[in-house]
Amino acid sequence: MHFSDFLSLLLLLALEWNVEAIKLVCHDETFVPDAVLRVTAENHTTSCLPSKSTVLVNGTSPGPELRLVEGRTYWIRVYNDMPAANLTMHWHGLSMAVSPFADGTPSTSQWPIPPMHFFDYEVSPAVGMAGTYFYHSHVGFQAVSAAGPLIIDDCEEPPYKYDGEKIVFIGDTFTGNDSTIEAGLVHNPLVWSGEAAAILVNGQGGGTNNGTACNATLSSLDVEPGKTYRFRFIGGTALTFASLAIEGHSNLTVIEADGSYTEPYNTSFLQVAAGQRYSVLLTTKPASEQTKYFMQLESRERPTVTRGYAVLNYGTPDPPSTFYPPAQPVMTLPNTTLGFLDYDLHPHSMYGEEYPSAQDVTRTITMTVHQRVTGPTIWVENNYNWTEQFPQEPYLVSLYKNDGIEFPSMERALANNGIDPVTRSFPAQIGEVIEIVIQNTGADAGGLDAHPFHAHGAHYWDLGSGNGTYNATANNLKLTGSQPVKRDTTMLYRYAMTTGNGTRMGWRAWRLKVTEPGVWMIHCHILQHMLMGMQTVWVMGNSSEVLGKVPTPEVEGYLTYGGDVYGNETHAPNIVQFSDDWEEEQ
């Protein structure tokens, strides 16, 4: 065979392979999705608040629990049944590298689902991702209620044994409706949402808000004596950083953090921020002296305390009992523990993937967060904010269309603390091992705040946190001999209530091996802060790595708002099937 023949054979094989992997498919009436989420805006009563327009998933908040098995691919159909609002769904904690338009970030990875349309999300949790996640809308303030548990089951036996599972989906709720809150947060001057009116567990809850009682019914977690349960805590709050404990049960053993199995770690309480998840083993009393124990939850790092409860119920679940909050708190919960679980959690020996050493680090990017009050109150990262209004079309769409925004320039970024000022994005190359240091600073007016930072696209090794500024040498010394766990949401703490304007006070460091090409967000998970600009966009990989996966004609339907990939009553969506492991399943 001539060399040129050999080349064309190779080309043919490559093309063939591509055609195998990337398929245009029409989801007509014969198509059956693996799960269906229907999102509506309805008048709904939560806790003690008067009924108000609320975004619900399948009629409830939180929405239904979704259970997927790692190593398989699923189609989840999401209907936007709201006549006047856009919608996306984000699969919080999962890498959506396989299906790039399915990450649910409206200004970044996809056009939102227009009113009365639907979109089929292709979700492929890789083997090793088993754990606790959640799904939520990524538009505006919708995620305060449009969210639900997403559990990725192990394809084999999990490394811990337990008799049962309980989901503890922590939420919060506010007096205003979403549109009022959204408008207030971008208003000049700022109109704050107010503090959480209630902390909810699985959608229910009462307690006190700044001392005012709310006597709403509590969620009941029904257990039997002498059993071990896996409690899956999900930080599905908008704002609340919750400190929590369970009366009479100080034996909590952390076994999972953000989808990573850990070595067992014992604690008597938890701190759960917006976006974080923990699995905890809890062994119930052999014969309980009481039938009811309160779980108490309190907001931290806010000017006032919102307190909520749920019940650990040893009584018969049938018929269900109705529980109300106690007249007085049943426990004194600790104040914020700075650096909670930092340096304490280590990957479970069966899952610990070798993590890159300090010598492997190719670049350190410091992301300085700051609150500006000149003009509207906004949050900036290295002097830039990112909101749903910037840019005008989703970044990934622009890159495909090659019209508006261009690829970030590494040269411009390197000269500007890692962020390219033209595209307002942080570029990184595939194969780089980067350290991302998130640096807290005093606001223009001197205030400091605490922020749960979340990364899309991939999990990072969490290197810990501290006061002042990051010192790599000192921190590496602290990490010697142990391995940190891979997380996707960790806290940037505040070490004082106020400090000087711009004073660097408090850091959080992550180490990330850049492997997944794509356009990914890193942002604070407090919904109010997101709307005020506390979001960043990272472009991992160059143009052929980010766009090369699918040829442009095939993605045409993704490039316009309401394009061919969005279905409605009369139009079946024509979409690209990105994963190549469909054959074996269907």
State the residues that interact with Cu ion by CB under 5 A. 451, 524, 526, 529
Sign of CA dihedral 6, 8, 12, 15: positive
Q: Least distance to Cu ion from the beta carbon of 525, Å?
A: 7
Nearer to ligand C2O, 85 or 333 (CB): 85
Q: Least distance to ligand C2O from the beta carbon of 386, Å?
A: 11
Q: Least distance to ligand C2O from the beta carbon of 576, Å?
A: 23
Contact call for residue 494 and ligand C2O (CB under 6 A): no
User: Rounded distance, CA 385 to CA 294, Å?
Assistant: 41
Contact call for residue 459 and ligand C2O (CB under 6 A): no
3-state secondary structure 3-35: HHHHHHHHHHHHHHHHHHHCEEEECCCCCCCCE
* DSSP conformational letter for 347: B
SS3 category, 479: helix
Number of Cβ atoms within 10 Å of the Cβ of 92: 26
Q: Which stretch binds ligand C2O (CB under 6 A): 232-240, 408-416, 499-507, 520-528?
A: 520-528
Contact call for residue 523 and ligand C2O (CB under 6 A): yes
44 phi/psi in degrees, rounded to 5: -150, 140
Contact with ligand C2O (CB under 6 A): which of 275, 442, 506, 573? 275
The answer to whether residues 467 and 495 touch, using CB atoms and an 8 Å cutoff, is yes
Contact call for residue 521 and ligand C2O (CB under 6 A): yes
Q: Least distance to ligand C2O from the beta carbon of 194, Å?
A: 22
User: Rounded distance, CA 116 to CA 40, Å?
Assistant: 10
Number of residues that bind ligand C2O (CB under 6 A): 10
Q: Which stretch binds ligand C2O (CB under 6 A): 17-25, 175-183, 300-308, 521-529?
A: 521-529
User: Rounded distance, CA 8 to CA 12, Å?
Assistant: 6
Nearer to Cu ion, 98 or 238 (CB): 238
Residue nearest to ligand C2O (CB): 92
Contact call for residue 90 and ligand C2O (CB under 6 A): yes
Q: Least distance to ligand C2O from the beta carbon of 523, Å?
A: 6
Sign of CA dihedral 243, 247, 253, 257: negative
Identify any residues that bridge with 262 across adjacent strands, giving them in sequence order. 347
From the list Cu ion, ligand C2O, none, pick the one residue 275 interacts with, judged by a Cβ distance below 5 to 8 Å according to partner type: ligand C2O
From the list Cu ion, ligand C2O, none, pick the one residue 504 interacts with, judged by a Cβ distance below 5 to 8 Å according to partner type: none
| Beta-sheet strand order (sheet of 535-540) | 425-428, 535-540, 518-524, 451-455, 489-492
* DSSP conformational letter for 180: H
User: Rounded distance, CA 488 to CA 497, Å?
Assistant: 26
Binding mask 7-26 for ligand C2O (x = CB under 6 A): --------------------
From the list Cu ion, ligand C2O, none, pick the one residue 524 interacts with, judged by a Cβ distance below 5 to 8 Å according to partner type: Cu ion
Take residue 312 and report the two structure tokens written for it.
């650990």
Q: Least distance to ligand C2O from the beta carbon of 524, Å?
A: 10
Selection from 371, 385, 339 nearest residue 498 by Cα: 371
User: Rounded distance, CA 568 to CA 118, Å?
Assistant: 6
Take residue 416 and report the two structure tokens written for it.
């500007």
Nearer to ligand C2O, 505 or 522 (CB): 522
Contact call for residue 454 and ligand C2O (CB under 6 A): yes
The amino acid sitting at 326 is P
Q: Least distance to Cu ion from the beta carbon of 530, Å?
A: 8
Nearer to Cu ion, 524 or 550 (CB): 524
Residues that bind ligand C2O (CB under 6 A): 90, 92, 136, 138, 275, 454, 456, 521, 523, 525
